[in-house]
Chains A and B, each alone.
Chain A
Amino acid sequence: MPSSKKKPLPRSLWTALFHPWVWRMAWRDSRSQRLRLVIFSLAIVSGIAALTAIHSLKTSVERGIESEAKSLLGSDLRVSSRKEITPEEVDRLAEMASRVSREISFPSMMRFLPEKGARLMQVRGIEGGYPFYGKVETRPVEAWERLQKEGGVLVEPSILDQFSVAVGDRVELGGIQLEILGVVDKPAPRGSRFSGFAPEAYVNLVDIERSGLLGKNSMAGYQVHLEIPDAPGSRELKGKVLEGFPDTRWRMETPENRRENLGKALDFFQKFLGLIALASLALGAIGVAGAVHAHVTRRIQTVGILRCLGCPGNLAFGVYFAQAIALGLLGALIGAGLGICMQTGLLAALGDKLPVSVRPTPEWLVVGQTTAMGFAVCCGFALLPLMKIREISPAVTLRSGATLKGSFLRALPVYGLLLGLLLMVAYGNDPSWKEAFAMVGGMVVAFLVLVGVARGLMAMSRRVVSVRWPYMIRQGISNLHRPGNQTLLFLLSLGLGTFLLVTILSAGKLLNNRLSLQQSEESPNLYLIDVQPDQVAGVKALLAGEELPVLEATPMVTMRIQSIRGVEVGDLKDVPRWVGRREFRSTYRDQLNFTETLIAGELATERADIEDIVPLSLEEKIARDMKVSIGDEITMDVQGIPIRTKVTSIRRVDWSRFNLNFFMVFPPGVLEEAPGFNVVTTRTPTPEASGDLQRKLAGKFANVTVIDLTQILEMIRDILVKISTGVTIMVGFTVLAGLPILIGTLLNGRDVRLKESVLLRTLGASAKQVRRILVIEYATLGFLTALTGVLLAVAANAALATSVFDASPWPDAMLLFTVFGAVMGISVLGGLALSRGVTSHPPLEILRGGS
């Protein structure tokens, strides 16, 4: 034998993986199956794409928030109050700042002269150099400066078009007229939530005082903006202010809060996306595991030969692990590419609908991290069938019919690794260990239940089959427990797939239901706020004159909570701080409205006396947050007057309707004398009717604020439609991720059943008989898989609905039946497809092993 270069092959797995022979052999071994293997690798694509897209999106938005945090707030500290912040207080606050700025804002009607129309505007009067960070951009450029010096008004550009007015024209605000100085292209950072919907108008603070609107307007907000160089941390800064002003109920915001709040605004959607990412990845990974199992099963003989010829177990394992790595990498790269397209595409599509400006560029670090994580999960799942390679004996070369065997104990570290990886992915989606454990725990429970059902089915099929049964049924059912059966694998892969898919579909539905506004004919689209008690009759008459209905006319009184169960609200440890700070707008009435349901106690219908303990009805969620139940005493501070109340009923409110709803409802007889105002709601058929009414109201009742929900609803609907489309696309994506599972599962059983069926054919069975046997087996498997998967999903849906989405735990029956039918149908079709293979392949070809 001629001399040769001898380099011993490595024996350990890690060194084997770096050896060229392993990769050469992996490449050669893939020859006859390359297309099939590439298709398998696509299993992980959707999972990694979802993971990459979701995390990149999150990072892009966070980066946007981070870079804009200060300019989003415009200052280092914003102090807000519903009550006036006195000049003395402002002076004292100014001591800790290098610059200070005052702002008063409120919604008010603005009339465009001459007689061009009126609409609700969020009026903002700013004095001082605010914003200290970022810049207000106007056209003409000097308009902002002029506003500070001369007074006037700046409006949003669309307003000029809407009312056919131009710079230089005049508007009427309360009792004064102002000149339009220009338009605002980039506004000052906003504080009030309401300003998100009403167009803003900037005026000089002096003009606000001159307008005379402030005195009567209960929706005014007072703000002080502070520039504090070298400001301490958010908590410390707030602590310092609280120390100096212990008796105030100011709301304070720092850039840090702004960052958190914006993050929270997207939190709910992110939770759902996180669920999708985890489920898509798990679905893909299960698909990969099934596909690798099918592949390895076909390679038992090859591994046996290699072992016979002296190949160490790790090296043989290495060959197929190398294939899995290559396929996983291919799938991961394609997935990452797709994820980048989804992220940048979605950002480009959302554009300025996001609360911060985000550039649609790939987040390479996140792409790298998520691809690596997805790749690791893919390889981890592939390890489960690959581990069995090490159990293949060289003796399989001596006898045919060997099956892939595995030891659960040996695979235990792999299961541990997978759990760890999935936990990391879940935690990465939503940094809460509780939720991560709940999600992964749910999957583990589903896994164990499916294993249990599979084992139960096998045991039962072994016992129940009777010789008196017709042959085909006997054969079909016996196939469920015989050697080479696919019961466990089928139930696990397709069952888990069904479970995850239904869970995602249900969660998508829950989210979409939550997002849908369910606007009915009874819902108002116009709110008339700040109607003083002596104006109610006049406003009603005006509406009647316009032939518009008065849907609701409700009194509203502002109040705070003083104590709960006799303990000062500030001293209650387990009650969130905002409960004490919140200003509640409550009403009084003796009946429920059409969006309320009583869930505990009785609504007080008798008139109550302020001197007695007043029965109080609380909304369900606020009662939960306040940790109170029926019978608990709450003392309310109604603008300085304490009123003792006792919770006598709890209501569930459908907040998705746009009618008037309240956290607290009092009985009549208590609040009538308290300072308050009325809200009247109506529904206008057309924008013209709405405009007409608003003009007349501005003329007769200048203080009455009109909120036109038609425009708000349109804006909300526009954003929600986009989000909803995103949800639907993502759900569709998960369905796509489930397909490889199906293919993998069916392929797994194909070879064994094909050979068996051909043998039956050779022995004289008709194609119909073979088909029946297969259909019986697959229908039984499909039935149990669908049933178990769907039932598990019902449980998961209930858990998600109650703990995450705050919705009804009952899933959509239609969805369940559809998926159940689809899984059953697909299983039976899979069986029939196999029987087609039997009739389309010459028996000899299969008997010779050439299948």
Chain B
Amino acid sequence: MLKDVDLCLKEGETLAIVGPSGSGKTTLLGLCAGLDDASAGSVELDGQAIESLDQDARAALRNRLVGFVFQSFQLIPTLTAIENVLVPLELRGESGQGAEAERLLTEVGLGDRLDHYPLQLSGGEQQRVALARAFIHRPKILFADEPTGNLDSGTSGPIVEMLFRLNREAGTALVLVTHDPALAAKARRVVTMSGGTIVSEEENAIF
């Protein structure tokens, strides 16, 4: 349950949402991405009120503007790494983008594992495929739900680095949900939630 949440994110901005379990972080992320319905209030994405759109229009909006990285990677198990990366473009009806997908996978260090299925990849590799997929269609905003939650510190470091690098290069806004203070510290703004409401908001000095 969320209550009195008022949040605005500018283009290219990075935001970390932190807070204890059950504080409403993931719920907020789901609402912002149009994955869930709010019982009251309004969510605008690129000037469009999500609640006024039906499910298919929301899906189209996500496909145009949004990228996702999930804690549990959420790769389609029956698709190879490159096929997984290409799905957002295919859903846009774009074909002939294999080279771009290959470039992105090479960039995340998986140039030699293009045709591997998710089950044949380690957790870190799966998350890197997810990163490539998140950026392939150049989204305006990227939602990342505990992107390193399932990874050890050795694996998560390069992932985080890649996440922020790609974000910077593409000029994508980033919304991060995390328990990890070190990861949160990399975002420009940090929002802390508790009991379904925002209890504090700070800006990191590094930006």
Query: Which residue numbers of A lie inside 8 Å of B, CB to CB?
Result: 1-2, 4-9, 11, 21, 25, 28-33, 301-302, 304-315, 393-395, 397-400, 850
Contact = CB atoms under 8 A, between A and B. Distances in A.
B56 A312 contact: yes
A309 B36 contact: no
Contacts of B140: none
Interface residues of B, number: 43
A307 B95 contact: no
Contact of A5 (B63, B88, B96): B96
Given A309-B62, A313-B56, A314-B56, A5 B95 contact: yes
Contacts of B154: none
A601 B100 CA distance: 94
A4 B72 contact: no
A21 B90 contact: yes
A397 B35 contact: yes
A32 B68 contact: no
B76 interface: yes
A398 B100 contact: no
A394 B77 CA distance: 17
A440 to B, nearest CB: 35
Contacts of B95: 4-5, 7
Contacts of B93: 6-9, 21
A395 B36 contact: yes
Interface string B191-206: 0000000000000000
Interface centre among B64, B70, B78, B97 (most CB of A within 10 A): B78
B90 A310 contact: no
A394 B35 contact: yes
The winner among B64, B75, B90, B100 for most chain A CB atoms within 10 A is B90
Interface of B: 26, 29-30, 33-36, 55-56, 59-64, 66, 68, 70, 72, 74-79, 83, 87-97, 99-100, 119, 133, 138, 145
A398 B70 contact: yes
A11 B63 CA distance: 13
B62 to A, nearest CB: 5
B68 A310 contact: no
Given A393-B36, A395-B30, A398-B29, A313 B92 contact: no
B61 to A, nearest CB: 8
Given A5-B96, A32-B77, A308-B74, 8 more contacts: A4-B95, A33-B78, A302-B77, A305-B75, A309-B91, A310-B88, A312-B60, A398-B26
Contacts of A4: 89, 94-97
A792 B68 CA distance: 52
A7 to B, nearest CB: 4
A100 B60 CA distance: 82
B35 A310 contact: no
A28 B78 contact: yes
B76 A310 contact: no
A315 B56 CA distance: 10
Contacts of B36: 393, 395
A400 B70 CA distance: 12
B29 A310 contact: no
28 contacts: A1-B97, A1-B100, A4-B89, A4-B96, A4-B97, A6-B92, A9-B91, A21-B90, A21-B93, A28-B79, A28-B83, A29-B78, A302-B77, A304-B74, A305-B74, A305-B75, A307-B55, A307-B59, A310-B62, A310-B63, A310-B91, A311-B59, A312-B56, A312-B60, A313-B56, A313-B59, A394-B59, A398-B29
B88 A11 contact: no
Contacts of B96: 4-5
Contact of B91 (A1, A32, A311): A311
A305 B91 CA distance: 12
B87 A398 contact: no
Contacts of A304: 74
Contacts of B77: 32, 302
Contacts of B79: 28-29
A400 B100 CA distance: 32
B24 to A, nearest CB: 12
Contacts of A310: 59-64, 66, 88, 91-92
Contacts of B87: 306, 309
Contacts of A301: 74
A400 B55 contact: no
